[in-house]
Chain A
Amino acid sequence: MNVIASHVTSYKTLGYVLILLLVFTTITINVTSYNLKAWNVAIALAIAGIKGYFVLTYFMHLKYENRIIRAFVLVVFSLFIAIFAITFIDYLYR
């Protein structure tokens, strides 16, 4: 199966995604000047997550990719979360 038929992301889309990423980067840098205690980390991670999402969906083409690859990504992501959560069950309750 050759790739000739697969979806081609336009230059415009890619440009818009970059702008979006730069906007979020600016936001995350500026948020650090406010002291929001625990929320600082949460917001930083949330923004990183959003940026990651856009890199995965558009730059890495996941939005247009075969369902199976998307399923794989979900599995890996869940594994990630599970490992973190379970490890913290130890550290949080010591």
Chain B
Amino acid sequence: MSAGVSLLKRAAVETNTLVQRLDGRVKFLFFIWATLLAYIFYDPVLNLIIIGFTLALAAYAKVLKPIALTLAIIIVPWILFAVPILSLPLGFPWNKTVIGYIEIFGRKYPVYLEGLGWGFTWPLRIAVSISTALLFFLTTNQAKLAATLVKMRLPFKAIYVVIAALQFIPLLAREAEVITQAQRARGLRTDVGILQRVRNYLAVVIPLTLTSLNKVQIRAIALESRGFSAPVRKTLVYETSFTRLDYVFLAGMAVATAFLAWVYVTYGYSPISHLPWVWAG
């Protein structure tokens, strides 16, 4: 969760690179496309290739650090837990193929391909999804994001709810910090027992909730005064449209899709690693 804290507090990085200039819909499509590919194939090496490409785009767009940090916090520990638990003889039901032995405290244990494959592939699938999603989120500012959602023909109220949630998160996170500091100044400690920690949680959460509910009414009045419920066509600050750059990127994705479809038909779902089938693999 702590990786997410810093991420959702962060606004989109405003630099003038090709990635920032891409239409939000194209970046969102890339995110969906890459995630689907990671799930259609069951191959950690292919996932690593997609992650590598996404991180290269992120480095170019100057958003590499937050994405790499998130992957390091969420994906690396997951692999470190999943690989030994699933690939050693601890009962993972699809383990069959022994690929080697590992010595732990003087005893030899078999290492299974099925568990090893699962332990790497699933976290890397999520890594593909996280990295491409963050590339979209961190290179598209909120006004353009709203325009993108309108172009996707989402209902206006649904768009407001999504954009408002993204705006509220950093605001409430800042208020929570202020309340926590105030409570610490009054003697709130974190090195206490479990029950006291829950009480501490209440000490922060109750004032936070009450202040945010007070603001709900103010926001509702502000929305009404701007004709939120009025049955008229809403206008946008930004208008988005596809440029030649967007068409080139989409063409690249179409070519890659055709190539990967041929790979799937010819070599199957695990073309590089040749992993055996497991449930939900």
Q: Are A and B part of the same complex? A: no
Give B residues with C-beta under 8 Å from A. Answer: none
